[in-house]
A and B are shown apart, each in its own frame.
Chain A
Amino acid sequence: KAGVTQTPRYLIKTRGQQVTLSCSPISGHRSVSWYQQTPGQGLQFLFEYFSETQRNKGNFPGRFSGRQFSNSRSEMNVSTLELGDSALYLCASSLDGTGDEKLFFGSGTQLSVL
């Protein structure tokens, strides 16, 4: 069974640009959640999608958005990039997205904003 796949693995952007990250969950998993990981803040929840609907959202500005497709694949977009957006962006999938459920993480996309 293939794991969670995130692309691209690394990205370098400049301030003001926008970026789109992709996540393919484990087959059969309907919940996809996104996290931002930085050394100072740890893993911060961005949002969670279930059956193409955003079900939960963290405390991030509107520049951070996402979507989920009918095959459960998900994308997240960050517009007007800022230096502080440099981080490891992790995607996790689970069957139904209940809080006690096991999360399967991808290897992440390392975003550097210059």
Chain B
Amino acid sequence: TQLLEQSPQFLSIQEGENLTVYCNSSSVFSSLQWYRQEPGEGPVLLVTVVTGGEVKKLKRLTFQFGDARKDSSLHITAAQPGDTGLYLCAGAIGGSYIPTFGRGTSLIVHP
């Protein structure tokens, strides 16, 4: 059983569309991180959310941390081909040194 469940697993959309991907858990996380991984590369951190209910914006990307700190969402407005990649959420429980990763949402944005 995955500690962090991400949905959808795959997403294929046209340029200009909006989308939301989700990261859910039954566990409480002290923080959640979102990464984007492009083919042939390692994941790159996009954002860390720490406070329940927190919303962070990074240009066209909006990240939200659930009030209970068990879930998070990533919303992309007007997707562009450059947004193509694997979006991973990761979180550490309590004082753990080890972040757990979800399996990711693979996004393809067609021009």
**A interface residues with partner B (beta carbon < 8 Å):** 4, 33, 35, 41-43, 45, 48, 55-56, 58, 90, 92, 97-100, 102-108
Contacts and interface: CB of A to CB of B under 8 A. Distances in A.
Contact of B43 (A48, A97, A105): A105
A97 B40 contact: no
Contact of A48 (B42, B88, B97, B100): B97
Contacts of B30: 99-100
Contacts of B28: none
Given A33-B98, A107-B41, A108-B42, 20 more contacts: A35-B101, A42-B2, A42-B101, A42-B103, A42-B104, A43-B43, A43-B101, A45-B98, A45-B100, A48-B97, A56-B98, A99-B91, A99-B95, A99-B99, A100-B30, A100-B31, A100-B92, A103-B90, A104-B45, A105-B44
B42 A105 contact: yes
5 contacts: A4-B42, A58-B98, A90-B42, A104-B45, A105-B43
B45 A103 contact: yes
Contacts of B45: 102-104
Nearest to B41: A107
B42 A99 contact: no
A56 B95 CA distance: 13
B1 interface: no
Q: Which of B42, B45, B96, B100 has the most CB of A within 10 A?
A: B42
Given A55-B97, A99-B98, A106 B48 contact: no
A99 B3 CA distance: 15
Nearest to A102: B45
Of A58, A98, A99, most B-chain CB atoms within 10 Å: A99
Nearest to A97: B97
Interface in B65-94: 88, 90-93
